[in-house]
Amino acid sequence: MQEHRFSKPLFLSVICLCFLAACGSKVEKSTEAQPTWTLSAPTTFVPSPSETDPVLTPTQSAMPLGSDVTWHLVIISEASGWGLGTAFANQIQNDLGVKVVLDDFAIDNLTTQDVLEVLKNDTSSIPGLSNLTEALKNADVVLLTPGPVYASNLATLVTIQRCFGAASGVPDPCAPDAFDSYTTDLEAIWTKIFELRAGKPTILRGLDAATPLIRVWIANGTYETCTTCWEAYSAAAHKASDKFLIPFFSRYDIFNGKDHRTDPFIIGYVRGDGIHPNDSAQIYASQLLAELGYEPTRIP
């Protein structure tokens, strides 16, 4: 299939970074209880060996600890990760007493293909991304959630645009394989991270994003279609993490609930722009990330 590339402004801010007029209105934080979440281990999935699979070095078994130890935290994300790196760095320092240095690559509109351009070719047209490879070589903790804007086919991109108000028309359902290339891109990024870490103990976490538009979809009668598409995006990210037994942290399930009908904007976890997670959301996410523990990821 021929790849379709679009200018980034068309997609705005990838998955949860769109703009709708309805999102700009001020909504007071309700007294609804904070969402609860029971963390679970990653799905046990071991891929069949293949002659084309990369040869990866297993990580060591323990992370260094102590007040004189410095960990490097790398976050690779579109704009839903703004502030998450700082919040999680503080969480690690409070939990373990180690010093944490943050390498923050949470960049508006960042995609998997932007990341792969750097990791494969050591070049980038994205400001602030040029030192990504060196940061990953030193990374003790990596949070990964770039967007899939260029990893989807044309029909999927049109649906995304319509769900997020960036294009007119009724959205069509996403195909079951709509985000397969997103999974492939993420697997390639994880593989490069393992290569750059060269067996050193590293804590890896795959993430997705929550949607702040539940109330808009319900009001527009597009909830079922747009939710199906968002679930496909989340599942694609989850699948990439599962391949390497990397714990997956679903902000979609946390902030939108297991039934994916909770609106984090209504309950006060979204900035005044109606789109991006606020500081409270990032702090809460960091607390739950910590509950996954601090064991390094081991290659199966």
pLDDT digits (tens, 9 = 90+) for 42-87: 333 333 334 444 444 444 468 999 999 999 999 999 999 999 999 9
Does 224 fall in a domain? yes
Structure tokens at 47: 């891929």
Residue 39 lies in a domain: no
Higher pLDDT, 278 or 165: 278
Digit-coded pLDDT (tens) for 211-244: 999 999 999 999 999 999 999 999 999 999 999 9
What's the CATH number where 91 sits? 3.40.50.1110
User: Which band of pLDDT confidence, cut at 50, 70 and 90, is reported for residue 123?
Assistant: confident
Q: How far apart, in Å, do the first and last CA atoms of the chain sit?
A: 32
Whole-number Å distance between alpha carbons of 105 and 82: 9
Q: Which residues touch 26 (CB under 8 Å, ≥6 apart)? A: 272
Would residue 169 be called left, alpha or beta, if left means φ above 0 and alpha means ψ between -120 and 50 degrees? left
Q: Annotate 140-165 with b (16+ C-beta within 10 A) or e (fewer).
A: bbbbbbbbbbbbbbeebbebbbbbbb
DSSP bridge pairs for 102: 73
Q: Quick check: is 53 in a domain? A: no
Question: Which residues, including other chains, have CB under 8 Å from residue 174's CB and lie 6 or more apart?
Answer: 156, 159, 228, 229, 232
Which pLDDT score is estimated for 150? 65
| Residues in the chain, overall count | 300
- Backbone φ and ψ of 11, nearest 5°: -85, -10
Q: Structure tokens of 187?
A: 């697997």
Question: Percent of the chain scored above 70 by pLDDT?
Answer: 77
Would residue 208 count as lying in a domain?
A: yes
CA angle 44, 48, 52 (to 5 degrees): 130
Looking at residue 49, what is its pLDDT? 38
Residue 58: both structure tokens together: 């297993």
More reliable by pLDDT, 295 or 48: 295
What pLDDT is attached to residue 166? Answer: 64
Mean model confidence pLDDT for the chain: 82
Torsion over CA: 14, 20, 24, 28 (sign)? negative
DSSP 17: -
> How many domains is the chain built from?
1
Q: Is residue 227 part of a domain?
A: yes
Stated as kind and residue range, the H or E segment containing 101 is strand 99-106
CB atoms within 10 A of CB 10: 12
CA atoms within 13 A on the CB side of 148: 31
Q: Taking the model in full, what pTM does it have? A: 0.80
3-class DSSP state of 99: strand
Closest CA to 106 of 125, 124, 132: 132
| Structure confidence at residue 168 as a pLDDT band (50, 70, 90) | confident
Q: In this structure, is residue 126 part of a structural domain?
A: yes
pLDDT at 122: 81
User: Which tokens hold the place of 285?
Assistant: 């996410």
User: Residue 82: helix, strand or coil by DSSP?
Assistant: coil
* Pairing state between β 203-207 and 141-145: parallel
Distance CA 150, CA 146 (A): 11
The pLDDT of residue 52 is: 42
Mean predicted confidence (pLDDT) in 128-153:
90
**Higher local confidence (pLDDT), 116 or 170:** 116
Of the candidates 91, 99, 18, the residue with the CA atom closest to the CA atom of residue 293: 91
Q: Which two tokens stand for residue 197?
A: 């870490």
Q: In the chain, helix, strand, coil percent, each to 5? A: 40, 10, 50
Range of the domain at 202: 64-291
- In angstroms, the CA 250 to CA 248 distance is 6
